[in-house]
């Protein structure tokens, strides 16, 4: 019933002369991926667009392949371009043309070696990386012998865990998980008997709410650490620093969006979420067990003071 009312309301808004804006009546296609904050954020923005009288559709896509789809106009925009994870795909698409950078969110992103809090009991010197290296034995498994085991992200995320271990002379063996789900399963299994683990993780992420934890502090990121061996503590090796602690979180759009939906595009340029806001969105789904569209509704209701100003410009 509620759906019908919303549909009617949107219909009325679309027909009324006040809302007779220049935006095309074709649906704005918003891609959704497989992590909660992105899904809820997409729904939030989608509902804002609907509020403006646009029609919106959601498609599920791969988070790397999406940039190719944005370029072709198959999907209209992308709300979470992570510097670390998707920077490369985004830049590649930017070079080919067809996609535009619509600015950054306030939120910063970070991805690095991470451990759940209970790990600190077994290795009190954390989060310092040298302390981590000293208790490598705590992280050893049957397969790694006396070396510690670090569970890196999937190989195709190109996180350079192996290179860092070598560059910093760490007593760790790097194992690649095959998917994010595999990382969570590993943490979840470790939680059962509070086994110390160190894995790849990132923020903002639902995991922070489920398992409190901290990033390992590596030598601070310096520009060029991944290109120039001289940069960083080891003069002969690349990747001898931690990842940037404040990576960007961008919005991207199809080149044709500005012409086809000028108002929606203008709003998109103003949209900017902060880390706590993103965490809140993810929490609504991951902890409160709401469906993404309900979570978006709830968030919009509770935070009108934040998003209203974006509409008025």
Partner 1 sequence: MTATTTEAATTAPALPRKTLGLAMIGLAVAMTLLHYVGLLPAWLHRLPEAIIPPFATWLDAIFNFVKDDLGLLALTRLLTDGLEVVLDATANLLFGKRRWPNIGPIPWSAIAAMAAVVGYYLGGWRMALLAGGTFVWTAMIGQWDIAMQTMSVLVVAAPLAFVIGLVLGITAWKSPSFDAVLRPVLAVLQTLPFFTYLLPAVIFFKVGPTAGAVATTVYAIPPMILMTTLGLQKVSPEVVEAGKMSGCTRWQMLRHVYIPAARTEILVGVNQVIMLCLAMVVLTAFIGMPGLGAKLLAMMGSFKIGRSFEIGVTIVLLAVTLDRMSKAWVVKLPEHFERGTPFWIRHKFLLMAIGAFVGFTLIAQFVPILSEVGRKQSWSQGKEIDTLIKNFLAIDLVQSITNSIRYVLNIWVLNPLRDFMLSIPTVAFVLLVSAAALLVAGRREAVLAAVFFGLVALTGWWDRSVITLYSVLAAVSIALLLGVPIGIVAARKEKTANAVLLACDTAQTFPSFIYLIPAIMLFGITATSVVMSILIFSMVPLVRYTIEGLRNVPDEMTEAADMSGATRMQKLWNVQLPLALPTMAVGFNQAIMFAFFMVIIAAFIGTQDLGQELQRTLAGTDLGKNFVLGICVTLMALTFDMVIMKWADDKKARLGLN
| 153 alpha-carbon distance from chain centroid | 14
Distance CA 165, CA 162 (A): 5
If the CB atoms of residues 150 and 307 are measured against partner 1, the closer one turns out to be 150
Residues near 170 by beta carbon (within 8 Å), at least 6 away in sequence: 129, 132, 133, 136, 148, 164
Smallest separation (angstroms) from partner 1 to the CB of 310: 25
Q: How many residues bind partner 1 (CB under 8 A)?
A: 55
| 29 alpha-carbon distance from chain centroid | 19
Query: Is 25 one of the binding residues for partner 1 (CB under 8 A)?
Result: no
Half-sphere exposure of 199 (CA within 13 A, CB side): 28
Structure tokens at 113: 């070696």
Query: Is 118 one of the binding residues for partner 1 (CB under 8 A)?
Result: no
Query: Is 201 one of the binding residues for partner 1 (CB under 8 A)?
Result: no
Spell out, one character per residue from 68 to 87, where the chain touches partner 1: x when CB under 8 A holds, - when not: xx----xx------------
Smallest separation (angstroms) from partner 1 to the CB of 270: 27
Could you say which of 59, 117, 266, 302 contacts partner 1 (CB under 8 A)?
59
Smallest separation (angstroms) from partner 1 to the CB of 161: 13
Could you say which of 8, 117, 185, 230 contacts partner 1 (CB under 8 A)?
185
SS3 assignment, position 10:
helix
Query: Is 141 one of the binding residues for partner 1 (CB under 8 A)?
Result: yes
How many angstroms separate the Cα of 26 from the Cα of each of 13, 17, 30, 114, 131?
A: 15, 18, 12, 44, 57
Taking CB under 8 A as the criterion, which residues in 151-170 touch partner 1? 151, 154-156
Half-sphere exposure of 271 (CA within 13 A, CB side): 26
If the CB atoms of residues 193 and 312 are measured against partner 1, the closer one turns out to be 193
DSSP string, 26-89: SPEEEEE-SSHHHHHHHHHHHHHHHHTT--EEEEE--TTTHHHHHHHTSS-EEEEEEHHHHHHH
How many angstroms separate the Cα of 150 from the Cα of each of 102, 125, 145?
A: 36, 17, 13
Spell out, one character per residue from 242 to 281, where the chain touches partner 1: x when CB under 8 A holds, - when not: ----------------------------------------
Could you say which of 9, 15, 65, 302 contacts partner 1 (CB under 8 A)?
65
Could you say which of 36, 47, 76, 133 contacts partner 1 (CB under 8 A)?
36
| Residues near partner 1, by CB under 8 A | 1, 3, 7, 34-36, 39, 55, 57-62, 64-66, 68-69, 74-75, 89, 141-143, 151, 154-156, 175-182, 184-189, 191-193, 206-207, 210, 285-286, 289-291, 294
């Amino acid at each position: 019933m509620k759906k019908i009312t919303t549909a009617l309301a949107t219909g009325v808004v679309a027909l009324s002369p006040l809302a007779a804006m220049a935006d095309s009546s074709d649906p704005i296609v918003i891609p959704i991926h497989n992590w909660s904050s992105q899904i809820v954020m997409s729904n939030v923005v989608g509902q804002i667009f609907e509020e403006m009288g646009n029609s919106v559709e959601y498609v599920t896509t791969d988070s790397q392949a999406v940039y190719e789809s944005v370029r072709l106009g198959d999907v209209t925009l992308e709300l979470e371009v992570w510097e670390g994870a998707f920077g490369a795909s985004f830049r590649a698409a930017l070079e080919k043309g067809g996609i535009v950078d619509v600015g950054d969110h306030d939120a910063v992103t970070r991805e690095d070696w991470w451990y759940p809090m209970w790990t600190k009991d077994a290795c009190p010197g954390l989060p310092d990386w040298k302390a981590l290296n000293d208790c490598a034995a705590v992280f050893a498994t049957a397969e790694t012998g006396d070396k510690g085991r670090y569970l890196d992200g999937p190989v195709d995320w190109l996180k350079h865990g192996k290179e860092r271990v070598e560059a910093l002379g760490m007593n760790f063996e790097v194992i690649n998980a095959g998917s994010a789900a595999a990382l969570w399963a590993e943490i979840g299994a470790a939680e059962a008997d509070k086994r110390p683990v160190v894995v790849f993780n990132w923020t903002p992420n639902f995991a922070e709410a489920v398992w409190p934890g901290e990033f390992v502090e590596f030598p601070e990121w310096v520009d060029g650490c991944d290109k120039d061996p001289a940069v960083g503590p080891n003069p002969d090796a690349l990747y001898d620093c931690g990842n940037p602690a404040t990576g960007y979180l961008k919005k991207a759009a199809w080149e044709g969006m500005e012409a086809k939906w000028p108002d929606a595009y203008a709003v998109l340029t103003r949209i900017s979420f902060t880390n706590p806001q993103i965490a809140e969105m993810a929490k609504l789904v991951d902890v409160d067990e709401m469906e993404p569209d309900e979570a978006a509704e709830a968030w919009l209701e509770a935070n009108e003071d934040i998003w209203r100003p974006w509409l008025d410009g």
